[in-house]
Amino acid sequence: MIGLTIDEIAAAIGGSRAGAEVPGTTLVSGPVTTDSREVVPGGVFVAKPGEHSDGHLFAAGAVESGAALLIVEHEVDAAAPQLVVEDAVVALGALAAEVVSRVRALGRLRIVAVTGSNGKTTTKNLLRTVLERVGPTVAPRASFNNEVGAPTTMLELTEDTRFLVAEMGASKVGDIARLIGMAKPDVGIVLKVGLAHAGEFGGIERTVEAKSEMVTGLLPEDVAVLNADDPRVDGMAERTCARVVRFGQGPSADVRALDVRAHSRGTDFTVQIPGGRRAEVRFGVLGEHHVSNALAAIAASLELGVDLDDIVDALGSVTLAERWRMQLMGGRDGITVVNDAYNASPDSMAAALKTLAQIREPGKRTIAVLGEMSELGEYSGEEHDLIGLLAVRLRIDQLVVVGTGARRLHISAINEGSWDGESTFVETFDEAFDLVTRLAEPGDAILVKSSNSAGLRHLGDRLGEWFA
């Protein structure tokens, strides 16, 4: 974090002084965290109440680790200066807004933000890879995209930061607007509107409303980067006064992918940008669906002044979007394990299955190990049915369905294909592991896919190590 005095922090977050008495002019510039295990000497610990614990219980430990300041909702017994606020999470956001504003005032910082039902973390990582070649760049760790993770990332800004990449997630209408209130982007990206988290939002139209918040607050001098291949996203052009740049594979896209070629080592394509210039992209991330994320990163980077050749070179260096996202593992006896079990929505599940079918070597087999897609609400049953049908129609050779939440997927596949053992249901990871290791043959391609809450990413790791 940039250096701020305790008095300046107090004014920014509306906090009252408590705890150890130190001068208000005392400078604080260490990292800000809500996790006491991450506290370093000189840092700030925000004691956030949680569902299962309370950060105030760990405040004394944070001080022992060197915390120079505590932000709390009530005074605690700890030998450090404290700022007492009504809501620690709101205070965290207010502090982030203050830091962003101060760095903005220096005149160098550009902010690019990304949202969408799928692809946020991948696109964020691609943007970081491109932009950090141009100047100091701050981007989130993992999926730091909520009311805690996003401001924590913003607080990593320094006076030298050139680019902030903000990943903005949402579980309800208003979440993205709140994050934009902390750091309004110069370039706002909307990737896709799908059924991911539709159960939480209360339907697809509410999801559209929530994701539209990325562009409704943009100014005429800003840029809205929209997915031309998704009608719901493309329609957001009518909701913004910013200049619109579209990306996609269709003819209406300004930044367009041509001649897409998916293979077991990644995806190659030709990109065409406004003015007709083209370049060949050798993209080492598995899955044709990631081309859309790459196009979004290209479009945004161009708007931020990066040359196309530099963008293409940076994308060519990427071989993994993120751990557990289309992660290639295995290798023994030509067996490929694709661990894509960090998240799953109907769109990403379908894309992963299509990729599995595409990378099948001639004469070899495919095995899909699938778990539950969570947070679909009333759509859950129907969407699991559709994935079962798709697995059959893509001629996936063996389906292994794991966990009660995904059982309808198994039943749907049986009903569609009248298979004899080609789809198997198991309750546990251990059963799935034993079955797959027994079934696998040289040259097989194995996909492991589920929502994060289903936990199949750990099964994917185990299979990847077994077949290494």
101 found inside a domain? no
pLDDT in tens, 62-92: 999 999 999 999 999 999 999 999 999 999 9
94 found inside a domain? no
Binding-site residue set: 116-122
Q: Rounded distance, CA 169 to CA 304, Å?
A: 22
The residues, ordered by sequence, that sit 6+ positions from 30 with a Cβ below 8 Å of its Cβ are 1, 40, 41, 42, 43, 44, 68
pLDDT in tens, 400-453: 999 999 999 999 999 987 567 799 999 999 999 999 999 999 999 999 999 988
| Whether 301 and 335 share a structural domain | no
Of 291, 127, 116, 139, which Cα lies nearest the Cα of 189?
116
What is the number of alpha carbons within 13 Å of residue 208 lying toward its C-beta?
Answer: 13
> Residue 202: is its pLDDT beyond 90?
no
| Whether 275 and 252 share a structural domain | yes
| Whether 339 and 373 share a structural domain | yes
Q: What is the pLDDT of residue 461?
A: 96
pLDDT in tens, 244-276: 999 999 999 999 999 999 887 889 999 999 999
pLDDT in tens, 88-121: 999 999 999 999 999 999 999 999 999 998 889 8
Tokens 């705890």 sit on residue: 19
Q: How confident is the model at residue 378 (pLDDT cuts 50, 70, 90)?
A: confident
100 found inside a domain? no
Q: What is the pLDDT of residue 325?
A: 81
| Whether 243 and 179 share a structural domain | yes
| Whether 309 and 333 share a structural domain | no
Among the residue ranges 80-89, 179-188, 316-325, the one predicted with the least confidence is: 316-325
79 found inside a domain? yes
Cβ contact 70:84 at 8 Å: no
4 phi/psi in degrees, rounded to 5: -135, 145
| Whether 312 and 338 share a structural domain | no
The one-letter code for the residue type at 260 is V
> Which CATH number characterizes residue 218's domain?
3.40.1190.10
Tokens 């430990």 sit on residue: 61
Q: Rounded distance, CA 209 to CA 196, Å?
A: 14
Across the range 190-212, mean pLDDT stands at 78
| Whether 302 and 360 share a structural domain | no
As to burial, measured by CB atoms within 10 angstroms (0-12 exposed, 13-18 middle, 19+ buried), residue 106 is exposed
Domain that holds residue 193: 106-316
93 found inside a domain? no
Q: Rounded distance, CA 95 to CA 237, Å?
A: 32
> Residue 319: is its pLDDT beyond 90?
no
92 found inside a domain? no
> Residue 337: is its pLDDT beyond 80?
yes
The strand pair at 81-84 and 16-19 is best described as antiparallel
| Whether 209 and 310 share a structural domain | yes
Across the range 341-363, mean pLDDT stands at 91
The one-letter code for the residue type at 362 is P
Domain end residue (candidates: 59, 87, 115): 87
Cβ contact 70:76 at 8 Å: yes
Mean pLDDT of the chain: 94
> Residue 123: is its pLDDT beyond 70?
yes
Percent pLDDT > 70 in the chain is: 98
Tokens 């539709």 sit on residue: 198
Helix axes 346-358, 380-393, angle to 10 degrees: 10
> Residue 198: is its pLDDT beyond 60?
no
Of 203, 134, 196, which Cα lies nearest the Cα of 169?
196
Q: What is the pLDDT of residue 52?
A: 83
| Whether 162 and 260 share a structural domain | yes
Q: What is the pLDDT of residue 379?
A: 86
Binding-site residue set for ATP: 116-122
SS3 of residue 378 by DSSP: helix
What is the number of alpha carbons within 13 Å of residue 139 lying toward its C-beta?
Answer: 23
Q: What is the pLDDT of residue 448?
A: 97
Q: What is the pLDDT of residue 197?
A: 53
Domain end residue (candidates: 57, 87, 117): 87
> Which CATH number characterizes residue 444's domain?
3.90.190.20
> Residue 196: is its pLDDT beyond 70?
no
Cβ contact 180:112 at 8 Å: no
Q: Rounded distance, CA 390 to CA 355, Å?
A: 12
Return the DSSP state at 264.
T
The model's pTM is 0.86
183-187, 194-198, 414-418: which is most confident: 183-187
Tokens 């249901």 sit on residue: 425
> Residue 201: is its pLDDT beyond 60?
no
- Could you write out the DSSP letters of every residue in 273-297? -TTS-EEEEEE-SS-TTHHHHHHHH
> Residue 320: is its pLDDT beyond 90?
no
| Whether 310 and 428 share a structural domain | no
Q: Which two tokens stand for residue 16?
A: 């009252």
Q: Rounded distance, CA 50 to CA 263, Å?
A: 44
Q: What is the pLDDT of residue 207?
A: 87
| Whether 362 and 435 share a structural domain | yes
As a whole number of Å, the end-to-end CA separation of the chain is 41
| Whether 125 and 222 share a structural domain | yes
Domain end residue (candidates: 262, 288, 316): 316
Q: What is the pLDDT of residue 129?
A: 97
Indicate the number of domains in the chain: 3
Q: Rounded distance, CA 428 to CA 421, Å?
A: 18
> Which CATH number characterizes residue 67's domain?
3.40.1390.10
